[in-house]
């Protein structure tokens, strides 16, 4: 048995009783997971419906910021800039 259980994310995780049904079927403890973002639009971004998108952006930003430029060899530190662009795009979109 997995001691930590499972984490349920995504829009369907917000349906009533999903966690309890998952525990009964999988026989594992379960909980609702959501992103933990602090900043502009946090109330919208921290919704479990966006967990996959936020996770992908987080990993991409992390990989981008720790990568090195082939020309200069300097570390790239544009993590905040990437999130700012995404947030501005979301504002324009909605």
> Is residue 58 assigned to a domain?
yes
> Is residue 70 assigned to a domain?
yes
> Is residue 65 assigned to a domain?
yes
**Long-range contact pairs involving 78-84 (C-beta distance under 8 Å, separation at least 24):** 82/57, 83/39, 83/57
| Tally of domains in the chain | 1
- Per residue of the chain (94 residues), what is the pLDDT tens digit? 556 889 999 999 999 999 999 999 999 999 988 888 787 888 888 888 888 888 888 888 777 766 544 444 555 555 566 777 777 777 776 6
> Is residue 66 assigned to a domain?
yes
- Reported as type and span, the H/E element at residue 30 is strand 30-32
User: 94 lies in which domain range?
Assistant: 50-94
Confirm whether pTM is higher than 0.85: no
């Amino acid at each position: 048995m997995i001691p930590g259980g499972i984490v349920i994310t995504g829009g369907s995780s917000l349906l009533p009783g999903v966690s309890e049904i998952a525990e009964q079927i999988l026989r594992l403890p379960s909980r609702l997971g959501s992103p933990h973002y602090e900043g502009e639009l946090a109330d919208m971004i921290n919704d479990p419906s966006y967990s996959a998108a936020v996770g992908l952006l987080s990993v991409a930003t992390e990989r981008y910021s720790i990568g090195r430029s082939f020309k200069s060899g300097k570390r790239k530190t544009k993590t905040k800039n990437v999130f700012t662009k995404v947030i501005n795009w979301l504002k324009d979109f909605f």
